[in-house]
């Protein structure tokens, strides 16, 4: 059976929803914003979109579709880490006719110029994950953002006079504070190689977009710095995240 035949069979099978998403074909917009936290997805839907309809609550991974400035947009949580992002973004691309996914999340700064509250636009993603082994490539795959989305995000960030940085990020399987061997050495090496920040989901998203021949971009707000050890306050976090979300909505 060819890859096309397998995909056609799967699409038909999941037309009424998947084990992780109860949406039906047509419930989800062509562009989806994906914060890690499903409650943040709910808040975005309720406060920034109009004519909102919920399409998913399975596993409490909330998903909504509404309108923003005349554009139909969906927002859905991704959960934490590559496996969770991998599942949800793969299904959105493969079974629900989604063309663009814009991840909106927080990150830890790895270089001195990335200050708490700054926006990081992820051009590429490196990782310590084995996520790409599924493609059976004879080498290391380096996934990248969709250039047109990245270019649009830079334009909007400039127009809004935001402090932002464009460059590679490091997507780790480990939340560094809980690492069995906590050490500064690891993140310092990634920072030295030019990675602006660290998250846990960008690599899997960019891999899935490449495999599906779809578009993806990751926007991150720096919530803490590995250099200065500063952390964002709850109030500052909310204000900074809203700036990032508005950039995502403008390019959706």
Query: What are the pLDDT digits (tens) for 203-249?
Result: 999 999 999 999 999 999 999 999 999 998 877 776 679 999 999 99
Q: Which residue reads 């061997």 in tokens?
A: 181
Number of domains in the chain: 1
Query: What are the pLDDT digits (tens) for 146-171?
Result: 999 999 999 999 999 999 999 999 99
Query: What are the pLDDT digits (tens) for 69-117?
Result: 999 999 999 999 999 999 999 999 999 999 999 999 999 999 999 999 9
User: What was the pLDDT predicted at 17?
Assistant: 76
Catalytic position from the list 27, 118, 199, 224? 224
User: What was the pLDDT predicted at 6?
Assistant: 43
User: Residue 22 sits in a domain of what CATH number?
Assistant: 3.40.50.1580
Check if 128 is active-site: no
Write the CB contacts of 120 (distance below 8 Å, at least 6 apart in sequence): 107, 109, 114, 164, 165, 166, 167, 169, 196, 197, 219, 220, 221, 222
**Domain membership of residue 115 as a residue range:** 3-251
């Amino acid at each position: 059976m060819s890859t096309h035949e397998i995909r056609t069979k799967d699409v038909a099978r999941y037309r009424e929803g998947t084990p992780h998403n109860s949406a039906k074909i047509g419930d989800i917009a062509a562009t989806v914003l994906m914060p890690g936290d499903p409650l943040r997805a709910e808040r975005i839907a309720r406060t920034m979109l109009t004519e909102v309809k919920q399409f998913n609550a399975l596993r409490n991974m909330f998903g909504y579709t509404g309108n923003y400035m005349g554009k139909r947009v969906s927002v859905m949580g991704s959960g934490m880490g590559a496996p969770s992002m991998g599942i949800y973004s793969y299904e959105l691309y493969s079974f629900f006719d989604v063309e663009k996914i814009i991840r909106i999340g927080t990150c830890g700064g790895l270089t001195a110029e990335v200050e708490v509250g700054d926006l990081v636009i992820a051009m590429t993603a490196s990782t310590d994950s084995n996520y790409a082994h599924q493609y059976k490539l004879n080498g290391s795959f380096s996934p990248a953002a969709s250039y047109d989305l990245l270019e649009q995000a830079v334009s909007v960030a400039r127009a809004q006079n935001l402090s932002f940085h464009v460059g590679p990020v490091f997507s780790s399987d480990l939340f560094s504070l809980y690492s069995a061997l906590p050490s500064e050495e690891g993140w310092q090496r990634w920072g030295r190689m030019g990675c602006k920040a660290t998250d846990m989901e960008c690599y899997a998203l960019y891999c899935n977009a490449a495999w599906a021949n779809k578009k993806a971009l990751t926007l991150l707000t720096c919530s803490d710095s590995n250099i200065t050890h500063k952390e964002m306050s709850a109030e500052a976090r909310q204000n900074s995240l809203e700036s990032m979300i508005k950039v995502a909505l403008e390019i959706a």
